[in-house]
Amino acid sequence: MSRKRSKLSSLDGVPIQPASRTTGIIKVAEHPDGSAETIPFVVVTGAEEGPSLWITACEHGDEVLSASAVVEFMSSLDPSRVKGQVVAFPVLDSTAFNIKRRFSPIDSYDFSRAWPGFKNGWLAQQVAARMFELMKVHADYVIDVHDGMPGIAEVAPYMIAGYERREQWESTIKGFAESFLFEKIIHWVGTSTERGARTSTMMAALLKEGIPSFVPEIGPDVKTGTEVALRGFENSMKYLGMLEGEPKRLPKYIAFPDVIHVFPTRGGVFRSYVSLDDEVKEGQKLASIRSFTGEITEELVSPAAGIIIAIWVLPMIGSGDFSAYEIATFDEFTKAWPGER
């Protein structure tokens, strides 16, 4: 268990009372025209003492299922049943969320790589800096929810747990992460990945403060994604002693040492040969991309053995799209592979 931090008693002038639900918005940054960048919050405070659990969502503005699941869960919580405090920010990247885009049009910056923030940096870095100030003082545990994009790119429910040394997993993160009941956990061990540095993630920043956190990716569809998120939130709160009842435990789950992204280099009509949760071998053909003349211009191939945990489902794709596949690998991926973003 992490060290106990102080509960929020107010947030941007909004008082927070015991045994209550409090909602509002806080200013987190400033736009070029001087107007405020604000994000909404929901705080459920129990009548009894207990840990402070923070839940965040929508680091990427197009991952709207994460926001929906957080709002639904917080709406279901009865303060009289809660021990401690749950602080939720359903939308971190507000300007991106409002136009249904992945990144804010103000800075086009990847919010998930903006931590621990910079008060005079890009908009995402300013928001991250404000959030990190609050988390360091008030958060005992953090769940940062992500999802695929239903109908565009879908994910099988999986989790990312990041740490630099194995003992951090065993002593700080393991029980908390396992309580979310996801059958696939990807271990980001170390400070880099084939997508770039891990040091600028929320998980990495929180780890340095001794605050356990993990990233659940919920999906693939709205119904399933919502169900696994609500189940996970409730069970994690039982594990932390914030709700009555014995927490469930999975009899087993699969731990993966790495995840890789497969990017297309050509645009066109996309046809996948595999599905979510399929096991693939190194060198296996995954998809074809055809030009509008019908010619196959590219065949995507798996660079390693593993399981498909995210897949592009639109029948068209571009070379600048996020990725065609994410593959949870059975072994640590050490080869050079294009895909720095």
Is the pLDDT at 325 greater than 60? The verdict is: yes
- DSSP-derived 3-state class of residue 131: helix
- Contact yes or no for 27/38 (Cβ under 8 A): yes
Residue 15 one-letter amino acid = P
Query: Can you list the domains of the chain with their CATH numbers?
Result: 10-255 (3.40.630.10), 258-329 (2.40.50.100)
pLDDT higher than threshold 90 for residue 199: no
The Cα 180–Cα 183 span in angstroms is: 9
What dihedral do alpha carbons 270, 226, 240, 85 form, nearest 10°? 120
What pLDDT shows up at residue 104? 95
140, amino acid identity: D
Least confident of 182-196, 197-211, 298-312, 321-335: 182-196
First CA to last CA across the chain, in angstroms? 34
- What integer pLDDT is reported at residue 322 of this predicted model? 80
User: What's the CA gap between 158 and 229, in Å, rounded?
Assistant: 11
The confidence band for 231, taking pLDDT boundaries of 50, 70 and 90, is very high
pLDDT digits (tens, 9 = 90+) for 132-151: 999 999 999 999 999 998 88
Q: Mean per-residue pLDDT for 86-111?
A: 96
Tens-digit pLDDT profile for residues 38-53:
999 999 999 999 999 9
Model pLDDT, residue 196: 56
DSSP state of 105: T
State whether residue 309 is helix, strand or coil.
strand
Pull the structure tokens for residue 252: 């087993």
Q: How confident is the model at residue 6 (pLDDT cuts 50, 70, 90)?
A: confident
Residue 233: closest CA among 134, 96, 171, 141: 141
Average pLDDT over residues 337-341: 52
Give 252-283 pLDDT, tens digit per residue.
Answer: 999 999 888 999 999 999 999 999 999 999 99
pLDDT digits (tens, 9 = 90+) for 73-96: 999 999 999 999 999 999 999 999
Which DSSP letter does residue 212 get? -
Q: Within 13 Å and on the Cβ side, how many CA atoms surround 7? A: 20
